[in-house]
Structure 1
Amino acid sequence: MSLTLALLLAGQIAAGQQTPPDQTAGPQDPAPPAEQGRLGTAQQGGGDIVVTARRRNETVQSVPIAISVIGGTALAETGAYNVSRLTQLQPTLQFYSTNPRNSAANIRGLGAPFGLTNDGIEQGVGIYVDQVYYSRIASATFDFTDTERIEILRGPQGTLYGKNTTAGAINISTRAPSFTPEGRVELTGGNLDFFQGKASISGPLVDDLVAMRLSASVTTRRGTIYNVRQDEWQNSQDNVGVKSQILWHATPTLDLTLSGDYNRQNPNCCVQYYARTGATQRPLNRQYAALAAAQGYAVPSTNAFDRLTDVDTDLRARQELGGLSLLANWDIGGAAITSVSAWRFWHWDPSNDRDFIGLPITTVSANPSQQSQVSQELRIASTGERRLDYVAGLFYFWQSIDTQGLQVQGPAASAFLLNPTSAGGRNPATLDGLTSRNTIGFKNTSAALFGKLTWHATDRLSISPGLRLNYDKKDGSYVSVVTNGTNTPLTADQRGVLAPQSYQPSFDNWNVSGDITVAYDVTPDVHYYATYARSYKSGGINLSGLPLDRNNNPILESARIDPEKVNHFELGLKTQFADRRATVNVAAFWTEIEDYQATVTNNQVGVLRGYLANAGKVRTRGIEIDSAFRPTSRLNLYANGAFTDAKYVRFVDAPCPPELAGGTALQPGQTPAPAGTPGASPDNCNISGQWLPGISRWAFSYGAEYDLPATVAGVEGAFYLGYDGSYRSKFSSNPSRSAYTDVNGYSLSNFRLGFKAPNSWNVFAWLRNAFDHDYYELLATQSGSTGLIVGQPGDPRTYGLTVSKSF
């Protein structure tokens, strides 16, 4: 935090300057506080929303970026208390998670590879909390507490939000310390034993000099899946979070904010279980139905929405995360200097059942991990009205990850993973006790120089070029030691399931990213813009084990992953009319990525993780419409929609989908067996032209709220009825699209009814997934091409009551 402290000393020298600290130029009359709590791109048709998308205060309608803003009140009323729940409000945001570590946030279908997490690469959607970069989406799975607003920026943002924000950024701002004493309390109870409590308090410690804000949250909920074997509910919630901030007006021109936070999550989570089966190319006696019958095994239910499982490994998804940051804003007259110094940690302690059923096939599967990061950003930005605005800065980032993986096979592994007619397959001792201990290390260093100019060529026309020079270096180590239950040399059968590996991959390179935006204001309420961006997502290294060749040796050439190279084009129109009671914003985009980083499924018998590979080229294109209307002072409406066409343009050597996998090796001149028919399987498949996983072609969010003024117990306010709906069309849930893993489209409806008084009470009953729609969040395959498809159902209908009080 040395740069921030240096700013403090410099500010004290300049203490004679009496200009009040104002780090960025912006509107003089932002929307009043009562307006900052609504939902939508433009406050549902009224008022101005002030955002910091370009590292300065501007109204959302004047920023030539496709951006959506969700205020703190909307987060509370819609139940969007973490990143995953934002997807019901923002159609072009996708979030998928099998547990906190294996989470991915995508925008317009891009960002992170779909599938199990690999620490050797980075996300393409930048997560920022109070200007601090969060290097892993897992470290941003905390519950929102005391949040003022969330800005979702769509499209490459690498110039100002570097560290690989090739798909977009999620910019979270919490409420700052206040010199006026204030407090907030929010209590929620619901079915499934749901309880959530949030509280914050703020006020001066030293009049007009030092202020503090303290906030805390607690969330608990019974699980939604019942384990009949362990007699307990699973996929529960158990979260605790605290945050403190101290704001110091060090001098008339210098503000410093010291922040610290800690979050602990310890749910009985996370289970995926039987959804369906599909035929593969394995011999019939080695597919799921025959294997389960031979063991005398049957799942508790073949209907996943009975929400029953019998997995026999204890589940755990414990994580601790937190950190410290020091933010300095120094007004130097005509410009402002900002320093953001931060240290963060994330500790992960899991336990999974990766065979997904109640047989002791894989009895232990866990990868505890300890991660820490240090980052330093230093920016200078022009202030006031001028012909040429600028932002320039330096960024440094360092990250360390240590992981201790453990996988143990159980007594049912031999019959399930080996040929049941072979000597090894008939002997439970062949694989029982087979253990892989993986020691994984990772060091990641990045540095950047960036800048963006905005030339106001006329009162209506502006041209904004940006440039970023970035250096990345990654060093890793992967050592897998495999032992059997008898401490003897491994047999061929054992090496085919868990093979020893040891390799030390590395990657480093320089790259230059750039963008240019031309914006034209037809009127004060009609804005056009056009953007071209050439950006990069850093290359990476495989740290989940490498695929094996036919001799069960790791393929070392796959240890390093090339950078993604992105070409992005976007046209946008932002409009307000009817006395600014109506807002309609449209964005059309076309993005092409060379060497797309994909997580692909490893179809080897006992390998539970995917690995990384470069697809030749992918393309995503589409159109988005965000609209909000306030026809009367009582009625607010919003409707957002997105059409996204995302596909592999060229991926000729991809792993095959399950219906074309699991068979015997294809010999020269031999024809592969038909899909789902036992026989020979191709080594790889050409999936060019297929959908990218995890992306719905059509997605919508829509809603309304009607207020009726009333006075209750002497408190003036309004009764209100609100509705929020969302729809997503079918999407692929496998890197290589399969008929078995397509997730059908679904729609969700949420209602709320309550009474609220401005800056005082808000009491409302809520109903989410009101029609109890059955839907999957994702589907996946069991390892080894058995044909078992497992799923993760979304939440059933939930209901409850929320009471909040501001004072």
Structure 2
Amino acid sequence: MHSFVRISLLAGSVLTAPAAFAQQALPQSRDDRTTSVGTGDDDTGQVIVVTARRRAESSQDVPLAISVVGGDHIDATGAFNVGRLQQLTPTLQFYSSNPRNTAVNIRGIGAPFGLTNDGIEQGVGIYVDDVYYSRVASSTFDFLDVAQIEVLRGPQGTLYGKNTSAGAIAITTRQPTDGFEGRAEISIGNLAFKQAKAAISGPLSETLAARVAISATSRRGTIFNVTTDNYVNEQDNLGLRGQLAWTPRDDLKLTLSADFSRQDPECCATIYVRTGATQRDLARQYAALSAAQHYAVPSTDPFARLTDLDAELSARNKMGGVALKAEWDTGWGTLSSISAWRFWDWLPANDRDYLGLPITTLSQNPSQQDQYTQELRFNHDGARVGFVAGIFAFHQTVRTSGSQAQGPAASAWLINPTNPLSQDPTVLDGLTASNDIRLSNTSAAAFGQVSWKVTDALTLQPGVRLNYDRKRGSYNSVVVNGDGQLVTFASSDSRIAAQRAVLAPQGFEAQFSDWNVSYDFTASYNAAPGVLGYATYARSFKSGGVNLNGLPADANGVPLLAAASVKPESVDHFELGLKLEFWRSRAIVNLAAFRTDISDYQALVNNGQLGVLRGYLANADKVRTQGVEADFSIRPSRRFNAYANSAYTDATYRRFVDAPCPPELSGGTTVGEGQVPGAPGTPGGLSPAACDISGQRLPGVSKWAFSYGAEGNVPAVLFGLDGEAYLGIDGNYRSRFSSNPSPSAYTWVDGYALTNLRAGFRVPGGIDLYGWVRNAFDVEYFEQLAVPSGNTGLIVGQPGDPRTWGFTIKTEF
């Protein structure tokens, strides 16, 4: 809260700048758009410039499915992080139970659903000013002084590297300026929402310019904890960014940037949603277990937003770094060098039993990361032939020091009631596992892409990338009981055996290394002015990895090292697209049809072939995502603009025969030879060792998704200032989706539609005052559902934000 007060005072001082001065200092700003193109403030339209192909060009000239969201539109719609951005871009999916357990997917693919693992990388690359952010936790931070965001759909491996098999998010921040300028805004709203942003930029000398930006957000939590008598799942964010741009001569520019972001909320709680019958014995399912301890949740209505979690909650998160970008115009092309160091510190605390019972009293996995990247590339744009060529190096170290402790209610909850030890709370009380997880990750690549203009209409674009990966990791878990004794597999004591069944010691080392070649080929054809068609084939991959969350083990506790490494994903991608621009760029229609086939898809599995049943990451045989996307925008005049985006995505497991079973088919005795599994949800029934989910839906992706918006304005005068009054609407819809790695009858999230409204008065290039309402119709929806470990039938979830409203005042000068 103190950080917010400091930022508010700074932003408030900037807001006091005279409006007349603000109008003279900054030209009228362009309207930003949520489709792949946008138009300007004049009647003939204005091209949006993107850098998707590592060079500046019109978004309509790029043979690629791309969504562009401008910084002003981000501010107007409250999309201040990637989670909110998905409401504007239908093909983007975002899921987060906390910053570390976050997944960002495009077209239904990108990251395994439901399991965080240090040794596995993401499939959607996140870049800020050309610097790669390897930890997906960065997507939970507030956008800071952003000029534009480009969401590149489909594999981008040639230019963006191994971690973009599903796509990339390229964020461009506002840069230092040769003239003095500034901007600031303050927002307040219900739930004690406060947000302040400020940036100032200008010259320090004839060759040196600087820019400083700062942002702070705070908001009361949306879930009330009856145990601690306070609201949880709050927002408490702070961000700082500074840049120096030195131009010693006309052909050379160096930009030094540094940033720091911090989150410190009491977060992240899920709430009781429902229960469903599993194949566990009836005495070991939720109803019986809770009744035995005379326990009841504070409410069975999830949208009462009540919880009774009794363990500490924390999602303290710090990230930052330094980058140096050098650009030299050689006369024949531009040579660019991007050097960067980044860090990430994660200090969490969770209640992993999801209940107000002292079952798991401590669950945390503090993690620290350092990464170093170096990219060197050369761009040449010729009349007929242009190319991009470069090299890239990456090194990352990650250390995670986790711990989990059981409490006095653990014995009755976790040990079979038929075992007398279940009645002794001291058996599991104080049982603690301390985990040390380490990763060293090194990668190097050489890449190139050529654009050959065969004729004035036909362009061929081949690209290739050679990549080398090496990962070395270790996992060591030491378990101590409440009496201070080591829990080992050597002991035959019945108490130790019961403790070992809950938290088992384990230690191993794992490594992976591989060479890989990615390539793509695109042919584009300008059939007429404003008409571009393209066809793309890409052969891409996502890097292999190592399992660092523990491995299945044999009866003696020896880890099965055959499961220690995970093979790379192999991606075959086909895409056809059409980009239409007409009515002097006032109207835009973009269409794309795609199909992506993935072999050795990295997924959560229970692999019966290894003779054990433990969830870990391995390779499913085949996955396919295919669909059609359409983006439309129109601006008949500077007084009105509208957009509509849609996506149909059919994402399925094509072959996955040893997948984890859903809860209704789990928990019973594993079938033996000649036995038949019981019906789903039959207490005490026989459970299959694994389930064949071939043909079923991938988690987290809706078949249908839409976003739309419009804004109109009329001339108006307020407080003697000539400006315009405006009214805007932005909405989105998602059809139902599965929220479990294997589709379950208990974890389908119903489809929902959200509507955001805003109305205000602005002086273009000066002051802007508006009110806003988000989730205007107070729709009750879930962002995610989850199945807690133990398979008691409990289903928990994260409800989406209720209706929020507030006011914003901002200025530019």
Mark yes or no: TM-score above 0.5.
yes
- Indicate yes or no: 2:664 matched with 1:659: yes
Instruction: Tell me the residue number matched to 1:48.
Output: 47
Instruction: Tell me the residue number matched to 1:10.
Output: none
Gapped regions of structure 1 (runs ≥ 5): 1-31
Instruction: Tell me the residue number matched to 2:698.
Output: 692
Instruction: Tell me the residue number matched to 1:148.
Output: 147
Superposed, 1:537-686 pairs within 5 Å as 537-549=542-554, 553-600=558-605, 611-678=616-683, 679-686=685-692
Structure 1 Cα separation of the partners of residues 604 and 583 of structure 2: 48
Instruction: Tell me the residue number matched to 1:242.
Output: 240
| Match 2:760 to one of 742, 754, 758 | 754
| Match 2:726 to one of 702, 715, 720 | 720
**Contact kept? 2:552, 2:614, Cα under 8 Å:** no
Instruction: Tell me the residue number matched to 1:706.
Output: 712
Instruction: Tell me the residue number matched to 1:350.
Output: 348
Change (3 A) 1:290 1:272: same
Structure 2 Cα separation of the partners of residues 549 and 699 of structure 1: 45
- Indicate yes or no: 2:735 matched with 1:735: no
Which amino acid in structure 2 is aligned with residue 718 of structure 1? E
1:713 positional shift: 2.8
Instruction: Tell me the residue number matched to 1:173.
Output: 172
1:334 positional shift: 1.4
- Indicate yes or no: 2:449 matched with 1:452: yes
Structure 1 Cα separation of the partners of residues 231 and 642 of structure 2: 38
After superposition, the C-alpha distances for 1:437-487 in whole angstroms (9 at most, x for unaligned) are: 000000000000000000000001000000000000000000000111123
Secondary structure of 2:400's match?
Answer: strand
**Contact kept? 2:39, 2:585, Cα under 8 Å:** no
> Which TM-score applies when normalising by structure 1?
0.94
Structure 2 Cα separation of the partners of residues 674 and 714 of structure 1: 74
Question: Aligned pair count?
Answer: 771
Structure 2 Cα separation of the partners of residues 322 and 517 of structure 1: 36
Gapped regions of structure 2 (runs ≥ 5): 1-26, 488-495
Superposed, 1:419-434 pairs within 5 Å as 419-434=416-431
Which amino acid in structure 2 is aligned with residue 346 of structure 1? W
Secondary structure of 2:267's match?
Answer: coil
Instruction: Tell me the residue number matched to 2:136.
Output: 137
Which amino acid in structure 2 is aligned with residue 758 of structure 1? P
1:116 positional shift: 2.6
Instruction: Tell me the residue number matched to 1:367.
Output: 365
Secondary structure of 2:29's match?
Answer: helix
1:251 positional shift: 2.2
| Match 2:481 to one of 484, 489, 494 | 484
Which amino acid in structure 2 is aligned with residue 750 of structure 1? N
**Contact kept? 1:499, 1:553, Cα under 8 Å:** no
**Contact kept? 1:354, 1:608, Cα under 8 Å:** no
Structure 1 Cα separation of the partners of residues 339 and 503 of structure 2: 43
Moved more, 64-73 or 594-603: 594-603
Instruction: Tell me the residue number matched to 1:3.
Output: none
Secondary structure of 2:244's match?
Answer: strand
**Contact kept? 2:34, 2:89, Cα under 8 Å:** no
Change (3 A) 1:33 1:142: farther
After superposition, the C-alpha distances for 1:347-380 in whole angstroms (9 at most, x for unaligned) are: 0000000110000011000000000100000000
Which amino acid in structure 2 is aligned with residue 243 of structure 1? R
**Contact kept? 1:544, 1:610, Cα under 8 Å:** no
Structure 2 Cα separation of the partners of residues 449 and 781 of structure 1: 43
Superposed, 1:292-331 pairs within 5 Å as 292-331=290-329
Which amino acid in structure 1 is aligned with residue 771 of structure 2? A
Instruction: Tell me the residue number matched to 2:75.
Output: 76
Structure 2 Cα separation of the partners of residues 568 and 296 of structure 1: 55
After superposition, the C-alpha distances for 1:688-708 in whole angstroms (9 at most, x for unaligned) are: 111000000000001111111
After superposition, the C-alpha distances for 1:52-99 in whole angstroms (9 at most, x for unaligned) are: 000111000000010010001100000001111001000000000000
Instruction: Tell me the residue number matched to 1:527.
Output: 532
Superposed, 1:8-27 pairs within 5 Å as none
Change (3 A) 1:763 1:216: same
Structure 1 Cα separation of the partners of residues 731 and 250 of structure 2: 48
Which amino acid in structure 2 is aligned with residue 444 of structure 1? N
Instruction: Tell me the residue number matched to 2:190.
Output: 191
Structure 1 Cα separation of the partners of residues 606 and 213 of structure 2: 42
**Contact kept? 2:714, 2:725, Cα under 8 Å:** yes
**Contact kept? 1:291, 1:415, Cα under 8 Å:** yes
Instruction: Tell me the residue number matched to 2:85.
Output: 86
Instruction: Tell me the residue number matched to 1:497.
Output: 502
Moved more, 486-495 or 743-752: 486-495
1:549 positional shift: 4.5
Structure 2 Cα separation of the partners of residues 711 and 367 of structure 1: 56
Structure 1 Cα separation of the partners of residues 606 and 772 of structure 2: 40
1:673 positional shift: 1.3
Secondary structure of 1:177's match?
Answer: coil
**Contact kept? 1:547, 1:602, Cα under 8 Å:** no
1:602 positional shift: 10
Identical-pair percentage: 60
Structure 2 Cα separation of the partners of residues 108 and 203 of structure 1: 41
Instruction: Tell me the residue number matched to 1:11.
Output: none
Which amino acid in structure 2 is aligned with residue 39 of structure 1? T
Secondary structure of 1:494's match?
Answer: helix
1:711 positional shift: 2.5
Instruction: Tell me the residue number matched to 2:18.
Output: none
**Contact kept? 1:734, 1:780, Cα under 8 Å:** yes
**Contact kept? 1:36, 1:49, Cα under 8 Å:** no
1:489 positional shift: 5.5
1:562 positional shift: 0.5
Moved more, 349-358 or 39-48: 39-48
**Contact kept? 1:601, 1:735, Cα under 8 Å:** no
Instruction: Tell me the residue number matched to 2:406.
Output: 409
Structure 1 Cα separation of the partners of residues 168 and 704 of structure 2: 21
Structure 2 Cα separation of the partners of residues 530 and 140 of structure 1: 31
**Contact kept? 1:126, 1:168, Cα under 8 Å:** yes
Structure 1 Cα separation of the partners of residues 309 and 502 of structure 2: 21
- Indicate yes or no: 2:121 matched with 1:122: yes
After superposition, the C-alpha distances for 1:650-676 in whole angstroms (9 at most, x for unaligned) are: 000111100000011222211111110
Structure 2 Cα separation of the partners of residues 34 and 171 of structure 1: 22
| Match 1:260 to one of 253, 258, 268 | 258
Which amino acid in structure 2 is aligned with residue 452 of structure 1? Q
- Indicate yes or no: 2:445 matched with 1:472: no
CA RMSD of aligned residues (A): 1.6
Change (3 A) 1:369 1:734: same
1:232 positional shift: 0.8
Change (3 A) 1:440 1:608: farther
| Match 2:781 to one of 775, 778, 787 | 775
Structure 1 Cα separation of the partners of residues 437 and 248 of structure 2: 44
Structure 2 Cα separation of the partners of residues 361 and 609 of structure 1: 21
1:553 positional shift: 4.7
Structure 2 Cα separation of the partners of residues 602 and 514 of structure 1: 32
Superposed, 1:786-805 pairs within 5 Å as 786-805=792-811
| Match 1:275 to one of 273, 276, 279 | 273
Structure 1 Cα separation of the partners of residues 37 and 396 of structure 2: 37
Structure 2 Cα separation of the partners of residues 44 and 624 of structure 1: 20
Which amino acid in structure 1 is aligned with residue 361 of structure 2? T
1:239 positional shift: 0.6
Secondary structure of 1:334's match?
Answer: coil
**Contact kept? 2:271, 2:305, Cα under 8 Å:** no
> Which TM-score applies when normalising by structure 2?
0.93
1:793 positional shift: 0.4
Moved more, 249-258 or 437-446: 249-258
**Contact kept? 2:282, 2:288, Cα under 8 Å:** yes
Structure 2 Cα separation of the partners of residues 712 and 366 of structure 1: 53
Structure 2 Cα separation of the partners of residues 36 and 343 of structure 1: 34
Structure 2 Cα separation of the partners of residues 427 and 553 of structure 1: 29
**Contact kept? 1:313, 1:364, Cα under 8 Å:** yes
After superposition, the C-alpha distances for 1:102-147 in whole angstroms (9 at most, x for unaligned) are: 1111000111111131111111101000010000111332211211
